[in-house]
Amino acid sequence: MSKEIIEKAQLWLMGTIDPETKQQVQHLIENDIHELTECFYRNLEFGTGGLRGIMGVGTNRMNKYTVGMATQGLANYMKKTYPGQKVKAAIAFDTRNNSRFFAEVTADVLSANDIEVYLFDDIHPTPLLSFAVRELKCHTGIVITASHNPKEYNGYKVYWSDGGQLIAPHDKNVINEVNLINGLNDVNFNKKKENIINIGKTIDEAYVAKVKAASLSPAIIKQNNGLKIVYTPLHGTGVHLVPRCLKEYGFSNIIPVEAQYISDGNFPTVEYPNPEEAKALNLAIEKARAVNADIVMATDPDADRVGVACKNDKGEFILLNGNQTASVLIHYILHTLNEKNELKNNNFIVKTIVTTELLAAIARYYKVEIYDVLTGFKYIADLIKKYEGQKQFIAGGEESYGYLIGDFVRDKDAVISCCFIAEAAAWAASQNKSFYDLLLDVYMQYGFYKEHLLSITKKGREGSEEIALMMQNYRNTPPTEINGLKVTEIYDYKNSITTKLASGVTSVIDLPKSDVLQFVLADDTKITIRPSGTEPKIKFYFSVKAQLNSKADFDTVNLLVDKRIKDIIASMKLS
């Protein structure tokens, strides 16, 4: 074990931490060197989702002290950034174990540093934090959540005054301020009650009004208000606002998955509270079969992502992936705005570089500008801010089940997304179609795009080093051929260079640097490789395209593209 790790652990033993934590650290020193290493070998860092980690003792774990140090660093940065001003911050938290506690620790430290804190009085979705920052004209905001991660995790996401998550240079500057703290004694935990204001209902009302006003087809909803919608919050924060907003839209037949309406950070009915995981929707689909539902929606613990299931042409409930849901949403929104003559020359939509190119095809059809950004909704928020007052953001999405409609929130928002998914289903019903029919309509009109995500988990310090080596090898010795097809173009987002292999011509990528590689094949297949910013994983995204001429051909074409993806994975020796 390294001397550095022992020294970091001993600093905790000498600091002003509580006796129980000291006892746990001492136990690890004496009995579990491996776990001690995992707990102290690094400090938690901000990734695409902020600070996130397993709860426990140590600098590499989520606990009162790492939260306190991050908050002290944030407080120091905010006071330097806004000298002489009364800095304001909003704080929200989800249903995870210790989320309320970490929120209160955060409030204590900020208030102790003479920052005015608006603390939500109960669990709230992440998009409500983004909304509150803007509504209350705060300088920053924090939400305590680990999104869809397992129950052992928690997290700490920081937002800027525009309501978007921290991006450069603020994210690095906050970390720099944290690193300047010499020890736990530098953290001021002595809260000032007069600086903490409880919020909740007033913000809810303002948010719900905005969501309701965004509806595009209230008349169609009125005609199809009996649509059977099965909804589950997966024990998370969507439990109140999603059903409420659906009712505000006019839907009267919202069928709950009662066992999952219980707010519980142990997530007792699911292995992972992640709507991307098929098993997470098992109870909801069981309920949907029993009531013959039209559509199923499941939100993750902090209600910024939503998973969808619907009946296919055989009457079987199938799960849609994030690209499919995003495509139906964008198709519905742009089609409806076009029908109402409400599309403007300055409208735009946004997707991430790993999200389906089908969204670009839909945008081109309606002559709407589309932008690609790096993975992470914070980059979508930054683009909205960049063009504020010049161009109008309509909607955006990413393959990982996150969508946003309108710009009054600056992060992915499962609450308004659920409303628009239901509205699109009502629009389908008005044409005697299902949500699944809409998806096939999209494929036939714009092209059949299919994507697949392969995540490889590499835990701990050794795993991080292995992921770094894999990226280094792909970057230094990139493949020239994959699955019998030539690689025609390479996008290296870390070095900000695109290279056309046939000519050697390069061009600059005008995006922030990120450790991402993309290989484009001769048939326009796209393969993207990136380490996760929030999990110990390296992710491979595969995107292929085919032509779907009729709904009757779907199964055949689907099998063909599935085989192409499997062959690509095999040729890259990932299976």
Task: Give pLDDT tens digits for 408-422.
Answer: 999 999 999 999 999
Residues 439 and 469 in one domain: no
Asked if residue 144 is part of any domain, the answer here is: yes
pLDDT band of 160, cuts 50, 70, 90? very high
CA dist 359 → 270, 324, 395, 398 (Å): 32, 10, 11, 10
| 398 CB neighbour count, 10 Å cutoff | 27
CATH classification of the domain holding 324: 3.40.120.10
Q: Map residue 318 onto helix, strand or coil.
A: strand
Q: Is 148 exposed, middle or buried (0-12, 13-18, 19+ CB in 10 A)?
A: buried
- Domain boundary (197, 232, 256) is at 197
Task: Give pLDDT tens digits for 513-545.
Answer: 999 999 999 999 999 999 986 678 999 999 999
Whether pLDDT at 91 is above 80: yes
Question: How high is the pLDDT of residue 177?
Answer: 87
Residues 437 and 516 in one domain: no
Mean pLDDT score, 88-108: 98
Asked if residue 13 is part of any domain, the answer here is: no
Tell which wins on pLDDT, 376 or 151. 151
pTM for the model:
0.93
Task: Give pLDDT tens digits for 15-29.
Answer: 788 999 999 999 998
- Domain boundary (162, 197, 232) is at 197
Question: How high is the pLDDT of residue 194?
Answer: 98
Whether pLDDT at 454 is above 90: yes
Whether pLDDT at 271 is above 80: yes
Residues 545 and 466 in one domain: yes
Whether pLDDT at 43 is above 90: no
Residues 133 and 179 in one domain: yes
Beta carbons of 304 and 135 less than 8 angstroms apart:
no
Structure tokens at 216: 């595009």
Residue listed under structure tokens 């161009």: 391
pLDDT band of 178, cuts 50, 70, 90? confident
Residues 244 and 142 in one domain: no
Whether pLDDT at 557 is above 70: yes
Residue listed under structure tokens 């795993």: 463
Asked if residue 331 is part of any domain, the answer here is: yes
Question: How high is the pLDDT of residue 50?
Answer: 65
Whether pLDDT at 2 is above 90: no
Residues 140 and 55 in one domain: yes
Percent of the chain predicted with pLDDT > 70: 99
Residues 88 and 106 in one domain: yes
Q: Could you tell me the sign of the dihedral formed by the alpha carbons of 309, 549, 562, 334, in that order? A: negative
CATH classification of the domain holding 457: 3.30.310
Question: How high is the pLDDT of residue 80?
Answer: 97
Beta carbons of 239 and 263 less than 8 angstroms apart:
yes
**What's phi and psi for 177, nearest 5 deg?**
-65, -40
Q: Which residues are catalytic?
A: 147
Closest-CA residue to 51 (of 143, 182, 189): 143
- Domain boundary (156, 179, 197) is at 197
**Cα(71)–Cα(106) distance, rounded to whole angstroms?**
6
Residues 273 and 170 in one domain: no
**Cα(305)–Cα(184) distance, rounded to whole angstroms?**
35
Question: How high is the pLDDT of residue 460?
Answer: 82
Task: Give pLDDT tens digits for 68-81.
Answer: 988 999 999 999 99
Task: Give the count of domains, the chain.
Answer: 3
Closest-CA residue to 129 (of 222, 138, 297): 138
Least confident of 199-208, 322-331, 526-535: 526-535
Whether pLDDT at 483 is above 60: yes
Asked if residue 135 is part of any domain, the answer here is: yes
Q: Of all helices (H) and strands (E), which one includes residue 115?
A: none
Residues 330 and 238 in one domain: yes
Residues 104 and 239 in one domain: no
Whether pLDDT at 46 is above 90: no
Give the torsion through C-alpha atoms of 288, 293, 296, 301, to 10 deg.
Answer: -60
Question: How high is the pLDDT of residue 181?
Answer: 81
Residues 260 and 358 in one domain: yes
Residues 299 and 399 in one domain: yes
Q: Which distant-in-sequence residues (6+ apart) come within 8 Å of 109 by Cβ?
A: 68, 71, 72, 75, 187, 188, 189, 191
Question: How high is the pLDDT of residue 3?
Answer: 82
Q: Which range marks the domain in which residue 308 is found?
A: 224-446
**Cα(306)–Cα(297) distance, rounded to whole angstroms?**
7
User: Which residues lie across from 143 on neighbouring strands?
Assistant: 92, 157
Question: How high is the pLDDT of residue 556?
Answer: 97
**Cα(438)–Cα(294) distance, rounded to whole angstroms?**
13
Asked if residue 498 is part of any domain, the answer here is: yes
Asked if residue 429 is part of any domain, the answer here is: yes
DSSP 494-556: TTTEEEETTT--EEE--S---S-EEEEETTS-EEEEEE-SSSSEEEEEEEEEE----GGGHHH
pLDDT band of 185, cuts 50, 70, 90? confident
Asked if residue 237 is part of any domain, the answer here is: yes
**Cα(297)–Cα(243) distance, rounded to whole angstroms?**
11
Asked if residue 439 is part of any domain, the answer here is: yes
| 558 CB neighbour count, 10 Å cutoff | 15
Mean per-residue pLDDT of the chain:
95
